[in-house]
Structure 1
């Protein structure tokens, strides 16, 4: 494998960023300097980037703060915040040093809209910069100005086209090398050939192409990649417009026996042991070191070993695809929106750094090669559609969105680097912690066993149970939100399904009701009633089929809805306005509108209160005491009440843990 060690410290090179935000690039002979879209003779060199300060980002200086964080909470009846902003893993002492629900003083993002600026001189962080999501008409205006009519697009044909293979074919070097070593745009595109997919029944990806093969086993040419099948958060179902594949690969010693020979059984043992470590399943009798040639490497709970790779193709939703006829499962269209990649380049355990140890606001990476350092042990790379639908490297501004969810804190002594992250990741990762702890977990991601029957999507895997809350994972979502996703939006197909299921004739206390927005009193009454009815829905288990699987209409979009969602997203592709948001609705989501009573009205940065029904484009900030640490930081409240019991409508949940039984 390529053993070049990626590091912030490079002998003889000082990469500095001036206070005004200028970028200092690395010497031109060390980086790819080709213009975007052109190809020149590539040479091998060390992996080197430069620093940049996000204050210089055009249009959105805070891409690490997702658009979902700006939403209203239906007066506290909806707490989708808990799935990211939690103390749970931190209190477990496992893989996360970024508690965000009160375990760290003055940080509780379930209670406060605590948008923190980089400095008192930086642009406000308490503004919703995600214009595509906040105001979809701005995106439509941009596409109209290009003389494009989205209604003329044949989206079904578009999502069935292959744009991943062409990009993979441009990746130089060996597929077994995590870093191809060549200064070219697809340098860190994961060495996973889409032509080799789907994975075999044991989850391993095997290929007939010699350049893809890591070693040969009894079943063929093994690429080293293995598929992960996991339970996504209920907020990341195909309803949201994207479906994933997830693949993991460890460094060569984990694939070898003590004699240095490749050994499939040893590799399987090491992968199982790593899963136990990441999912907090280690016991007193668990091995303390990995097996085979990796026997000198200790097993660390909540931490991946150095050299771990994760590949994440993010596909469009194809409601005709369920894995039949050799196709990818789980409604994965052939076309990918993005191909994401993580490589653990440092031997770093997140629990070795305290909350608050992260320093600086500078982001290290390389725009032309599409990668950044996440500030806590990993390199993140990403390749996204250009205006023609072909993949291109993402810029640091675009990749900072990834850092926002896949990061944490590092040592105080580390070179200044941007840090962000959430409280629910294990060593910066979301998927592997929620993989099924059986052979089912070593299969292609199929979103609870999606099958298309007579044109209707259903699941075949029963609802997983959250092993700390001791309740179904989807039930937990329904109990704490009054919508179907992080945005507080309920698709019409789900509305229709709930209206059919929830009524007094079926034993409910009332009929399912629409959210009323004519005045504050009716709004509060309607969202409170919906919360009550959804909790009755959970108690009665009417959200489940008799076999324990989740009813399909709650997870899977109707064919027309999926196509229209893809059509809206393609407007972002055509305009290349990713910096303004990738999630686009037909109109401004209801959760961005001000429906509070005037006595609890949210205010703008300057203290001006919002009027009823007005779009909330920015939030309250602390301006009273310029000498205080939180000057110009967000000080608005979410209306989620810390002391309100669950049985009285409370939704506060500070210690959510993402682990499943």
Structure 2
């Protein structure tokens, strides 16, 4: 394959005909943009060989603004976690290859306020209410992963899941309530979403028969393993059915808490718990959605999905083999080799750490389609080698702890829980360290609501909020405009140029990194743990009933 890096500044200013958006029907919309990201795919040419560098990495830190700390971390050798990448030195340091020195995410520099001005509120409101997941399942009935990613009524979570998060359709997917990762995944910055987990069959069964007691016992053991907990609260689990004394009290009974064990239970009883590593067969289903707005003007997870993302741990590497993979990656970077991504075709990509990653995204008609190899490559920017992840994942380590965390995501039940090692709320701390409500410091609504004129955060107001929903949800006006902005990206099919639904031209982002760019000052580099201090949240009544 011929490879080249193409800097297309002209794409940043290519405009739609505004009149195209004035129609009530999406079918009447006529796409007029002639510069398409898909042309690179059709011509088998690589647009961005460093797509693993996400747009946020090009933020101007000005020596003091640090959104980098959420992803790039170093931990002491005594921590002994499998993730040994120790990339805290990348905070604000722009250590890119020559190809990466040019910012290829040109959608950041498009003024979408001009593109959306004639899209009617009534049109976009109806657009985001449409269920495109059901048709997606029907359209892809022959896809090799269709049985894995199929979940009835997923567009309407109240119909899809029981209160404990278990899918009603017998698919064994389990939704969990988690704190969104700052700040790309905050709804105020463009998207809502959810995550489901599923363990392999042996973790769900006892003597070949499905057992909820076995399943939630193993899910709870996994949570303890990933978070390094000694005990946890659990849904009512009947030890008599398992014939295992899970809470070590010398009798069989219905339990509501249990300590950590050396092995899983049920048909997976021969599988040992591995510190901060998922067992083989673990799956995640993640939907990225538009922002719905209800009749009261309140945002919610819309029915329409921007993306459906799927991960499966197809193999298992022990801690030593994981370390070898990290060392291999470090060596490739040391010799300035461009990143390599294994193409699994319809099944997606292999991240090199035993995870299969796949994704589906809207086509220009709003129907979910298979993402192309080039579009998927950027997934490895977050799900491969950054210091903050636990086994290359984010969300499960941020699950509301124990029994309260089993159920569909609900931001209204969470307050701003601190990260481990911190006393102050995580989101408040993020606002202070970043100097804005997003990595690019261009979310004007967040700046107006939570920042003083001198750039300091309105700390008392943030701390007084009843939940994080009130902090990170957009207003009705902003939600509609963000939906419109992404709609234009979808119509362009310009995902290779960036998926961030920004409303204006990014001014705090570098178009090109110069060799003499000043790094972050040392006193503006911070430690960060992706895990949260839910015990402290309980003690301070941060978690709402």
Which bracket does the TM-score occupy, shorter chain normalised? 0.7 to 0.9
Q: Does 1:444 align with 2:408?
A: yes
The aligned runs of 1:137-536 (5 Å cut-off) are 137=111, 150=119, 154-172=123-141, 184=143, 187=146, 190-194=149-153, 197-198=157-158, 199-207=161-169, 213=170, 223-235=171-183, 236-257=185-206, 259-282=207-230, 286-320=260-294, 331-349=300-318, 352-354=322-324, 355-358=326-329, 361-367=339-345, 369=346, 371-407=348-384, 421-446=385-410, 448-449=411-412, 460-491=413-444, 493-498=445-450, 512-513=452-453, 529-530=454-455, 533-534=456-457
- In the alignment, what sits opposite 1:78? 65
Tell me, yes or no, if the aligned pair for 1:57 and 1:397 is still in contact at 8 Å. no
Offset at residue 330 of structure 1 (A): 7.3
Which whole-Å CA distance do the structure 2 matches of 1:229 and 1:565 have between them?
24
Which whole-Å CA distance do the structure 2 matches of 1:659 and 1:461 have between them?
12
Cα displacement string for residues 389-434 of structure 1 (whole angstroms, at most 9, x for unaligned residues): 0000001111111111011xxxxxxxxxxxxx32111111110000
Which whole-Å CA distance do the structure 1 matches of 2:76 and 2:490 have between them?
36
Cα displacement string for residues 127-176 of structure 1 (whole angstroms, at most 9, x for unaligned residues): 1101111x114x799x89xxx9645981001000111111112344xxxx
Which whole-Å CA distance do the structure 2 matches of 1:114 and 1:378 have between them?
26
Pick aligned residue for 1:590 from 507, 511, 519: 507
The aligned runs of 1:18-167 (5 Å cut-off) are 57-73=45-61, 75-88=62-75, 92-101=79-88, 108-117=89-98, 124-133=99-108, 135-137=109-111, 150=119, 154-167=123-136
Offset at residue 193 of structure 1 (A): 2.6
Offset at residue 64 of structure 1 (A): 0.9
- In the alignment, what sits opposite 2:517? 636
Tell me, yes or no, if the aligned pair for 2:347 and 2:356 is still in contact at 8 Å. no
Tell me, yes or no, if the aligned pair for 1:321 and 1:333 is still in contact at 8 Å. no
- In the alignment, what sits opposite 1:658? 531
Cα separation, partners in 2 of 1:91 and 1:79, compared to 1, 3 Å? farther
Offset at residue 245 of structure 1 (A): 1.2
Tell me, yes or no, if the aligned pair for 2:420 and 2:532 is still in contact at 8 Å. yes
Larger Rg: 1 or 2? 1
> 3-state SS of the aligned residue for 2:53?
coil
Cα separation, partners in 2 of 1:187 and 1:99, compared to 1, 3 Å? same
Which whole-Å CA distance do the structure 2 matches of 1:152 and 1:557 have between them?
16
Tell me, yes or no, if the aligned pair for 1:89 and 1:423 is still in contact at 8 Å. no
> 3-state SS of the aligned residue for 1:276?
helix
Which whole-Å CA distance do the structure 1 matches of 2:484 and 2:439 have between them?
21
Unaligned stretches of 5+ residues in structure 1? 1-17, 23-52, 102-107, 118-123, 173-181, 208-212, 214-222, 323-328, 408-420, 450-459, 500-511, 514-528, 593-615, 622-634, 645-650
TM-score by length of 2: 0.77
- Greater alpha carbon shift after TM alignment, 227-236 vs 282-291: 282-291
Tell me, yes or no, if the aligned pair for 1:160 and 1:333 is still in contact at 8 Å. yes
The aligned runs of 1:545-556 (5 Å cut-off) are 545=464, 547=466, 549-550=467-468, 552=470, 554-556=471-473
> 3-state SS of the aligned residue for 1:316?
strand
Offset at residue 61 of structure 1 (A): 1.9
Cα separation, partners in 2 of 1:341 and 1:637, compared to 1, 3 Å? same
Which whole-Å CA distance do the structure 2 matches of 1:350 and 1:395 have between them?
32
Tell me, yes or no, if the aligned pair for 2:481 and 2:503 is still in contact at 8 Å. no
Tell me, yes or no, if the aligned pair for 1:114 and 1:636 is still in contact at 8 Å. no
Tell me, yes or no, if the aligned pair for 1:163 and 1:390 is still in contact at 8 Å. yes
Tell me, yes or no, if the aligned pair for 1:348 and 1:376 is still in contact at 8 Å. yes
Cα separation, partners in 2 of 1:350 and 1:575, compared to 1, 3 Å? farther
Q: CA RMSD in A?
A: 3.1
Which whole-Å CA distance do the structure 2 matches of 1:551 and 1:370 have between them?
35
Cα separation, partners in 2 of 1:342 and 1:91, compared to 1, 3 Å? farther
Cα separation, partners in 2 of 1:434 and 1:91, compared to 1, 3 Å? farther
Unaligned stretches of 5+ residues in structure 2? 5-40, 232-257, 535-545
Cα separation, partners in 2 of 1:204 and 1:577, compared to 1, 3 Å? same
Cα separation, partners in 2 of 1:188 and 1:430, compared to 1, 3 Å? farther
Offset at residue 251 of structure 1 (A): 0.7
Cα displacement string for residues 78-100 of structure 1 (whole angstroms, at most 9, x for unaligned residues): 11100001114986322423221
Q: Which has the higher helix share?
A: 2
TM-score by length of 1: 0.64
- In the alignment, what sits opposite 2:477? 560
- In the alignment, what sits opposite 1:618? 512
